Amino acid sequence: MSEFVKIKDRNRVRLLTLNRPEALNSFNDDVYDAVTAALQEAAADPDLAVVVITGQDRAFSSGQDLGELGNPRVHDDGRRHGFQPFIEVVEAFPKPLIAAVNGIGVGIGLTLLPHCDLVLMAEDARLKAPFVDLGVTTEAGSSFLLPAMIGWAATAHILYTAPWIDADYAVEIGLAWRQVPDEQLMEETMEMAEFIAQKPIPSLVATKQLLLAARLDATRQARGRENEAFGRLVGAPANREAIAAFKEKRPANFTKLPAE
């Protein structure tokens, strides 16, 4: 059990609630590791059929903790930590995975969603992909998954301009399955999750495996390309300016930076 993720199992459904509300449920290594462990346990548990992910209080997730992006944590226990093991588990998760987007979803709070089988979004929730604004690039296989899911133009608009995406638009383009009144989000999400969980688990697993088979290799290849590009851009002038501007609470100015 971790303080960073609340876990509740009921009627063959595991509810994971990101629990870092003071930081709008942003992901640091502790959160990544806690969610990874909870998902691995759910995948291996023969009595769990479905996993639901949501956020505590007013945010789904505000994305990567920028403090760790600029100063990655050094671990000395020999284990892999953070984003990479997390996304490897998420992209191949063998059981139905449902997101209940209860508030803002930024960065990984958006790019996690194409890995979910169903996304229910509160009417007042909003999404944003601010990668270019941070001087980096997209992640989590989304350079493949987003165009496949919502089309090239919608993906280009979301990634190049980093707009806030409301629930209406998210449903319209297929990023979310349906929108739900805020006060009904968890009730309707759990009703759907528990309905699915009544089905035979071997059939659910086999069906999820078939769905993943058509895209898993392409997603992993896209993620490899993203990791290489991300690695080049982290710590480069634009990224340093973006993080400095964030810490200094001012607009970033990229206009005088080198093009390469």
pLDDT tens across 31-45, in order? 999 999 999 999 999
Output phi, psi for 255, to 5 deg: -70, -25
Q: How far apart are CA 80 and CA 37, in angstroms?
A: 12
Task: Please give the structure tokens belonging to residue 198.
Answer: 């009544």
User: 188 burial class (0-12, 13-18, 19+ CB within 10 angstroms)?
Assistant: middle
- Does the pLDDT at position 75 exceed 70? no
DSSP 104: E
Look at residues 110, 1, 114, 7 and name the one whose alpha carbon lies nearest to residue 56.
Answer: 7
Q: Cβ distance 13 to 52 under 8 Å?
A: yes
User: pLDDT band for position 71 (50/70/90)?
Assistant: low
- Span of 26-40, 65-79, 166-180, 202-216 with lowest mean pLDDT: 65-79
For domain 5-183, give the fold.
2-enoyl-CoA Hydratase; Chain A, domain 1 (3.90.226)
- Does the pLDDT at position 244 exceed 60? yes
Residue 79: its pLDDT value, please?
66
Residue 203: its pLDDT value, please?
98
Residue 187: its pLDDT value, please?
98
Contacting residues for 57 by C-beta, under 8 A, at least 6 apart: 21, 25, 103
Residue 77: its pLDDT value, please?
63
- Does the pLDDT at position 67 exceed 90? no
What is the model's pTM? 0.93
